[in-house]
């Protein structure tokens, strides 16, 4: 990523940007992205057309609220110039501008987008840096999903699938273990009876002080931060973060109180010592994947902040 100088509405570049992609180069990357997204989303789109719900994967599109079409649209990221006639697909996109490049059609992400998103860039940079600075905590065992249905009865079940241990068994498990959630956006869905059982109370302002890299949801949220920064952040990184979010969601729900056997999922039985050990192994593997992607996204944010040195190091979204 390079800082693109602010010039006239249809500027002629006076210095070469760090990344210029020929039409053959970038359309090949775009087509690979399209194929990968189509493969990943085929089942979801089929279910959506049939008006069928899925208790695991719908979350990636309802909670995160990023449409499949947007995930499929390929962005090169800020500072990269695309060349060739195929750039017509970008010329009317609000985040792009046409530029003059030796008489060849060319587009790039506008400086205005970076200016508009500067607060978000600062927030994401600060949160990711704070998260990465802490050691991973691997002792939560995914109990947040159990805490969301604690002492609720039938009316509190969040998905149309049965509880593996029933309501009484679910409540007993929550009461037998310490809740150690560090992620506010999971904690805020705890039932009123479960929230006081957490090791520490969490608030929106506690994100910077409590977020830690072992949390599955902190890893899943890398996908959210990528799409909130689109088109400044490239779609290659966005897609890898989506893959991570999908894998983390599956572990999240396999370790949950729900019986998902009808959907082909084998439970991670955290009510047993063997199940808790399995959860930690799988959580650790996802934590390693998340750390690499967090570093990549943090590097993107650092470069974007260097392009706009007035970008605030925000502590609120």
Per-residue pLDDT of the chain (317 residues; tens, 9 = 90+): 656 444 434 443 334 445 899 999 999 999 999 999 999 999 999 999 999 999 999 999 999 999 999 999 999 999 999 999 999 999 889 999 999 888 889 999 999 999 999 999 999 999 999 999 999 999 999 999 999 999 997 665 666 789 999 999 999 999 999 999 999 999 999 999 999 999 999 999 999 999 999 999 999 999 999 999 999 999 999 999 999 999 999 999 999 999 999 999 999 999 999 999 999 999 999 999 999 999 999 999 999 999 876 655 444 44
CA distances from 216 to 220, 231, 240 (A): 6, 25, 15
Could you tell me whether strands 96-101 and 104-109 are parallel, antiparallel, or unpaired per DSSP bridges?
A: antiparallel
Task: Give CA–CA dist 298/304, Å, rounded.
Answer: 10
Report residue 105 as tokens.
């059609």
Half-sphere exposure of 37 (CA within 13 A, CB side): 21
Per the CB < 8 A criterion, the answer to whether 1 and 19 are in contact is yes
Q: What is the pLDDT of residue 151?
A: 94
What percent of the chain is modeled with pLDDT above 90?
85
pLDDT tens readout for residues 3-36: 644 443 444 333 444 589 999 999 999 999 999 9
For residue 47, list its beta bridge partners: none
Q: What is the pLDDT of residue 11?
A: 42
Supply the pLDDT for residue 178.
96
Cβ(150)–Cβ(190) below 8 Å: yes
Rg of the chain over all Cα atoms, to the nearest angstrom: 22
Tokens of 219: 């890893």
Q: Is the dihedral of CA 101, 104, 107, 108 positive or negative?
A: negative
Q: Which two tokens stand for residue 75?
A: 């962005």
Q: What is the pLDDT of residue 311?
A: 59
Judging by beta carbons within 10 Å of its beta carbon (0-12, 13-18, 19+), is residue 71 exposed, middle or buried? buried
Q: What whole-number distance in Å separates Cα of residue 32 and Cα of residue 75?
A: 12
Mapping DSSP to helix (H, G, I), strand (E, B) and coil, where does residue 1 land?
A: coil
Predicted pLDDT at 103? 83
- The count of C-alpha atoms lying within 13 angstroms of the C-alpha of 99, restricted to the half-sphere facing its C-beta, is 28
Q: Is the pTM of this model over 0.85?
A: yes
What does the pLDDT read at residue 101?
83
Q: Which residues pair with 299 in a beta bridge?
A: none
């Amino acid at each position: 990523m390079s800082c693109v100088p602010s010039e006239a509405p249809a500027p002629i570049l006076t210095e070469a940007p760090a990344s210029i992609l020929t039409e053959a180069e970038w359309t090949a990357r775009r087509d690979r992205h399209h194929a990968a997204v189509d493969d990943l989303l085929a089942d979801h789109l089929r279910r959506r057309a049939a008006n069928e719900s899925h208790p695991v994967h719908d979350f990636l599109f309802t909670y995160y609220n990023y449409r499949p079409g947007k995930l499929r649209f390929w962005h090169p990221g800020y500072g990269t110039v695309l060349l060739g006639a195929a750039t017509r697909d970008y010329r009317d996109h609000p985040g792009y501008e046409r530029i003059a490049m030796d008489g060849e059609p060319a587009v790039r992400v506008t400086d205005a987008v970076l200016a508009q998103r500067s607060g978000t860039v600062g927030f994401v940079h600060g949160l990711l840096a704070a998260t990465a600075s802490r050691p991973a905590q691997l002792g939560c065992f995914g109990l947040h999903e159990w805490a969301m249905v604690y002492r609720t009865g039938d009316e509190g079940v969040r998905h149309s699938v049965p509880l593996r241990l029933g309501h009484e068994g679910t409540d007993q498990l929550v009461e037998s273990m310490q809740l150690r959630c560090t992620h506010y956006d999971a904690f805020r869905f705890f039932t009123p009876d479960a929230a006081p059982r957490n090791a520490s109370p969490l608030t929106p302002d506690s994100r910077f002080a409590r977020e830690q890299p072992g949390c599955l949801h902190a890893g899943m949220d890398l996908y959210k931060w990528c799409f909130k920064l689109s088109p400044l952040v490239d779609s290659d990184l966005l897609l890898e973060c989506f893959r991570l979010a999908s894998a983390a969601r599956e572990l999240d729900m396999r370790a949950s109180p729900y019986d998902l056997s009808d959907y082909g999922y084998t439970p991670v039985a955290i009510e047993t010592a063997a199940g808790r050990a399995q959860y930690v192994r799988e959580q650790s593997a996802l934590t390693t994947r998340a750390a690499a992607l967090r570093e990549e996204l943090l590097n993107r944010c650092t470069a974007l902040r260097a392009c706009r040195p007035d970008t605030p190091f925000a502590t609120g979204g």
